[in-house]
Each structure stands twice: as C-alpha cells, then as structure tokens.
Amino acid sequence: MVETVTTPFWWRCTQFHHPRRWLPAVFITHKAIITALWIAFLITLFWWQMDSTTTGILIFRRVFPSRQLPKLRHVAFNLTDFGGVGDGVTVNTAAFEKAVLAISRKGGGQLNVPPGYWLTAPFNLTSHMTLFLAEGAVILGVDDEKYWPLMPPLPSYGYGREHRGPRYGSLIHGQNLKDVVITGHNGTINGQGQAWWKKFRQKLLNHTRGPLVQIMWSTDILISNITLQNSPFWTLHPYDCKNVTIRNVTILAPIAGAPNTDGIDPDSCEDVLIENCYISVGDDGIAIKSGWDQYGIAYGRPSKNILIRNLVIRSNVSAGVSIGSEMSGGVSNVTVENVLIWNSRRAVRIKTAPGRGGYVRDITYRNLTFENVRVGIVIKTDYNEHADERFDPKAVPVLKDISYTSIHGEGVRVPVQIHGSKEIPVKNVTFRDMSVGLSYKKKHIFQCAFVQGRVIGTIFPAPCENLDLYDEQGHLIRRSDSQNATDIDYDI
C-alpha cells in the first residue's frame, strides 16, 4: 500500500524556484479571487436591485413580492347560524354583522354564505376572515340609499368624486385589516345598481355613489372565484393597500347606461396581482389610480408594482385598461400582458392633465390583442376634470419609459394616439412587434404629438414621424427631428 502525501496549497505557491509549479498556482489563486469577487458583485447587485427605489432599468425587476397563501381558518360559521334568511326579501344586515363580530372575537374564521338570495345593507369585514360564497349564493345590496352609511371623503380626493362632502360607503367594506379573503364557488355579489344609475342620471343623489367592494389601508387581501355584478359605482376598489391578489373573478355591468362602473380600481396600492379575470362593464375595465390633483399630491401614496395578466375585457364606453386620470400620487412599475380587449372604445389608455402632478413611468404592455376597438393605444394629457378650482395648473405630470411589445389585432379604427403637449411631453416610448388590422382608411392613423421614443423593427401601420427608427438588431436607421410635430385628429 502506497501512502499518498498531498502538498499544502500554500507551500506549492511559495516554490518560486520551480516555474512549472509556480505559474499554475498563481493562475489558480487569481481565478479563485476573481470568482469570489464576481460572486460578491452579483450578490450585491441582486440585493440592490431588489431594494432599489430608482426608476432605471433593473436586471432583476420586481413586480411584486412572493406571497403566502391564506391559511385555513380554525373556525367556520354559517350565515344561517345568525338568523340569515336567503329569500331575497328579508334584510340580513344584522346577521352579517353578528357573524363578523363572532369571527372577530375568535381572532379569525370563515363565514359561509349558502345558496340563496341574501339581501343586505352595507357591512364591514374583519381581519383574518374568509367570506365564502357557495355556488348559487347571491349577496344582494339594498338599493335604497338611506340604508347606505355616509363616510368621509377619501383623503387623496378631497371630496366624494361626484359631490362635495361625504360619500356613500361600499356594500362590503373593510379598513385597517390584515389577511382577508373573499372567495367561493363562483357565488355572486350583486349591488343592484340599476336604481343608483337612474338617480345619478336624474341628478337625484346628493353624495357620491359607493363601490360594491372597498378595502382600505389593509394588507394581504385575496379576492378569487366570485362574480361581482351591477355595482352602484366602481366595482372593486382597493385603496392604499399592500399585497392584493385578484384572480378568477368575473365582473359584470351593462356596457351602456351603467355610469362609472369601473371593474377594478387599484388606488394608491402596492404589490398587486390581477389575473385570469373576465370584465365587461360600463366604464374602464381596470383603472389604476393614486389620488386627484392637490389632494393626491399631498397624500403622496403611489400605485406601484402591479401585474395585470391573462384577462378578457370589454368596455364599450371607455377603456380596457387605464392609468389615471387620478394619478397625482404617481404610478410606476406596471406590467400589462396577455390581455384581449374586444368591442371597446379604447384598449389601453394613460390619461392625465396639468394640475395632476405625479408621474407615470416604467409601464410595460406586451402580448395584447385588440378586436373591434375604436382606438387601440392612447396617451392623453388634456383630461381636464378637476377636484375643485384650487388645483395648481403648474403641477404637470411626468410621463416616461413606456413600452409596447407584441401588439396585434383587427378591426381597429386608430391603432395609436399619443397626445403629448408642450408642457407634458411623453418621453422614451418604445414600440416593437406591432401589427394591427385597420377599419379606417384616413391618412393619419398612427397619431402623435410631443412624443420622443423609438420603433424597433417593422410595425404596421407605419409609425408617426416623431419616433426614431431602429432595425431588429437595435441599430439606428433614422433619428427623428419632428418630436414636437402633431397630427392628432380630434374627430376620432
């Protein structure tokens, strides 16, 4: 048996009188040092990217953090245990309130709503609660406004959006909560908004209508596997919340005659996931917001880290996915992908105005399909609807770093309308891989004003002259000298 003796690495590195030994040792030493430095650099870069609050291009771009699934509740109640009657006539407000109180006292739990029609006035949720709607369960909102409580205006809006002073609360409401789930076997929450819409059109309401579901100043919210229908006003309104997941939700309202029935309005929210939903409503399908004029600027809560994916949306009178116009707290790091927008007035829109302040930046649209849409892509900077006359017209928003990739469709009247202005130019817009079938033969169908950006590769229809042209490899073909030119057709 031969004993093998291994010479220590440090000893081999000191044998300078043997070049054949010394050179490999030095090489190995340098390689180890370089490898260690690279590992340290990558760890530092990863940590910086995850925590960075800058707005540059991030290699490890965070959309939202990892999420914990809600825990199973340790106790469950049925609404009938508290005197609930699902006949569509009996008012069950007291039953809901008693059930929520019992769950609160237990430190959490699940409320099962069985099949039936459960008429109720507005009620509040509590933390660590699951509201579970069985198949065939329908929660009906009382359509008489005297049963709806009045609440203070949202601090980032100044007053009730439609009227000064207080506003009506939501049918299902929550404030300062943690770990709330609304789910089921596709049960329905129906706001019975028809009476509200009629009174609004007749100007018989003295306060702003309430949303169907509104959760405020809360964290860890999951809404899934339900239908939301006929909201008096905005349908689902998370306000100043963190870690919100909305998935497998159907949202319905008439596409005409149901004013302001937005589908989902994340408002001053952070870390939001909206996926696998069907939305057909009387206003914007999704509208990302962050406060209105000087009130939103003062409140200072941006909407950020929002991922919207795998949706089908119809908005006959407005847009499929909007940002604004109330965006005074800022909107950033939004991705909209794999979305079909059909039979709509507009597909994706950013809307703002002087007086809003704030910013819209780091917005990514990709894999969008437009079908029978009047205007596909819209950026509008003159949406002059203000909270009151005290807004500052010099508070102009910043619009920049917006990209559109893999945009396709047919039956589109005007594919692109980017309406920047001298005071609000649109900066760093990118188009790549776009082919949209047209239903309009007028000359200016890709319309621009005060916009700077680029087109990469071949797109159809031909872009406006405001944009630089690059080939597929990213080589500059033509630099635009017409960024401030305008060919907006206001009759569209």
CA 412 to chain centre: 24
Element (H, E) at 284: none
User: DSSP secondary-structure letter at 290?
Assistant: -
Is the Cβ–Cβ distance between 153 and 165 less than 8 Å?
Answer: yes
Residues forming a β-bridge with 443: none
DSSP states of 322-350 as a string?
EE-SS-TT-EEEEEEEEEEEEEEEEEEEE
Structure tokens at 420: 């920047």
Is the Cβ–Cβ distance between 323 and 286 less than 8 Å?
Answer: no
State the amino acid at position 170 in one-letter form.
S
State how far the Cα of 241 lies from the Cα of 238, in Å rounded to an integer. Answer: 6
Is the Cβ–Cβ distance between 126 and 147 less than 8 Å?
Answer: no
State how far the Cα of 76 lies from the Cα of 112, in Å rounded to an integer. Answer: 7
Is the Cβ–Cβ distance between 322 and 380 less than 8 Å?
Answer: no
The 3-state DSSP class for residue 308 equals: strand
Is the Cβ–Cβ distance between 142 and 119 less than 8 Å?
Answer: yes
Is the Cβ–Cβ distance between 10 and 26 less than 8 Å?
Answer: no
Residue indicated by tokens 């709330």: 180
What's the residue count for the chain? 492
Enumerate the active-site residues.
283
Element (H, E) at 103: helix 93-105
Determine how many CB atoms are found less than 10 A away from the CB of residue 423.
12
Residues forming a β-bridge with 321: 286, 348
DSSP states of 412-455 as a string?
EEEEEEEE--SSS-EEEEEEEEEEEEES---S--EEEESEEEEE
- Going by their DSSP bridges, the two strands 167-168 and 150-151 should be labelled as antiparallel
User: Does the bond joining 325 to the residue before it have cis omega, within 30 degrees of 0?
Assistant: yes
Determine how many CB atoms are found less than 10 A away from the CB of residue 59.
9
Structure tokens at 449: 């004003």
State how far the Cα of 81 lies from the Cα of 270, in Å rounded to an integer. Answer: 37
